[in-house]
Amino acid sequence: MNPAHRPVRRSLPWLLAALSMIGPFSIDAVFPAFPLVGAHFGVDAAPLQQLISVYLVTYAAMSLFHGAISDAVGRKPVVVAGLLVYALASVGAAMSTSFAMLLACRGLQGMCAGAGLVVGRAVVRDSLEGPAAQRLMSQVMMIFGVAPVIAPMVGALLLPLGGWHGIFWLLAGFTVLLALALQLFLDETHPPARRTRFAPRPLLAGYRSFGRDRLFWPLLVSSSVNFAGLFLYIASAPRIVRELLQLSAQGFPWLFLPVVSGLIGGAWLSGRMAGRHSANSTVSLGYAVMLLACAAHLLLALLLPAPRLPWSMLPLILHGIGVQLAFPTLTLLLLDRFPHHRGGISSVQAFASLLLCSFVAGVMSPLLSRGMLPLALGASALTVAGVLAWWWYHRLTRRPLELPLADAGTAAMQAEIAEPR
């Protein structure tokens, strides 16, 4: 059955959003617990930051395989199995007797958590086409957008009850329940007739074919860098909230509420623009809003000797809007480059994005989070890199990009086939 005509359950956006929430919950919920974890294991801020970077590195590495495995055995088994192993890793983290054991369990969490993000994107594109796919992606992002603000608040509320251990027990329970819900309500969107064999040689050959596609690279860079500038602030949340703003663990919403407001607003706008505006208009508007946010960050950092609430956090709203305006369209354009390997291409996109985010969390954040001006400069540099990559793609596909999303993808592929590389 053509995906455009396949009936989609009403529960699908909620299930996919819940899958997407695992990532921010795994990162943001542990932020308020950093001081308790450090005191319990006798480690300072630098090792504690590795709780984020180790998770992201393993997340990125395993993301290269989740999509390809789902192309071979189906989407549903990969997601359900990944959630169950993630739950076991969370139990191990809650029962850790050393910081090394906690880091190892965080690494195992990262290896499994990517299954939901990577395979979920492929499910969207398996199920729907064109503007309908963009609207579904935007719906997922709107629901998902509440996770970054809920996660640190939940983490802070659990500290007096179960300490930092309670956060990991909650993650274990959440993923077990989600695995059960997916087993009951998620339809398999990748039938056996469309599956490909999972083996190292074909997998590497597929990745090489991605690399030979000249439109792949600007789309990959643009979609990967898209979130990195905003993620620099998210990864720096402990130092921004605790040291720069001098707030308690209950102060994290001052940073995450603007982020979430922007992400939800941008996702809503993206859904409204689906089918009404060209891919070029949607992504270009997203990057224009992100550049405006970076300019506001820089101006406030220069004018204010110390960050001040709420003004220093308000540009995060604009940044979130810009990210979500651009991201659904960028993702769908990239998936449309390889319609028979959507799981594989989603894996590569997730790998590149998460590898960059791990660099942001492990290197850029510790170096730049000493002040709002260095953070603003770092976020601006990342955003400009995304703008340049989008401009590169726009130069290669100027005419197709003036069409709606579904027609733009088809026209771009036809133009690429017609031209010698």
**In this structure, are residues 63 and 347 in contact, taking their beta carbons and an 8 Å threshold?**
yes
Report the chain (421 residues): mean pLDDT per 10 consecutive residues. Answer: 55 80 79 84 82 83 80 85 94 93 93 80 73 72 65 71 83 92 84 74 74 86 89 87 81 82 84 77 92 96 88 92 88 79 75 82 88 94 94 76 50 44 38
What is the structure's pLDDT at 86? 94
In a domain, 205, yes or no: no
In a domain, 203, yes or no: no
In a domain, 389, yes or no: yes
In a domain, 202, yes or no: no
What is the structure's pLDDT at 215? 87
* Residue 46 buriedness (CB in 10 A; 0-12 / 13-18 / 19+): exposed
Which has the closest alpha carbon to 308: 260, 362, 259, 372? 372
What is the structure's pLDDT at 293? 96
pTM for the whole thing? Answer: 0.69
**In this structure, are residues 128 and 8 in contact, taking their beta carbons and an 8 Å threshold?**
yes
What is the structure's pLDDT at 178? 92
- Length of the chain (residues): 421
Tell me the residue range of the domain where 57 lies. Answer: 11-190+212-416
What is the structure's pLDDT at 92? 95
- The CATH number of residue 15's host domain is 1.20.1250.20
Tokens of 344: 């594989």
Which has the closest alpha carbon to 198: 20, 57, 111, 78? 78
In a domain, 204, yes or no: no
In our burial notation (b when 16+ CB lie closer than 10 A, e otherwise), range 233-269 reads bbbbbbbbbbebbebebebbbbbbbbbbbbbbbbbbb
Type of residue at 273:
M
What is the structure's pLDDT at 189? 77
In a domain, 195, yes or no: no
In a domain, 186, yes or no: yes
What is the structure's pLDDT at 316? 94
Total domains in the chain come to 1
What is the structure's pLDDT at 243? 87
Sequence-separated (6 or more) residues with CB below 8 Å from residue 47: 38, 99
**In this structure, are residues 121 and 328 in contact, taking their beta carbons and an 8 Å threshold?**
no
In a domain, 273, yes or no: yes
Tokens of 175: 């993923």
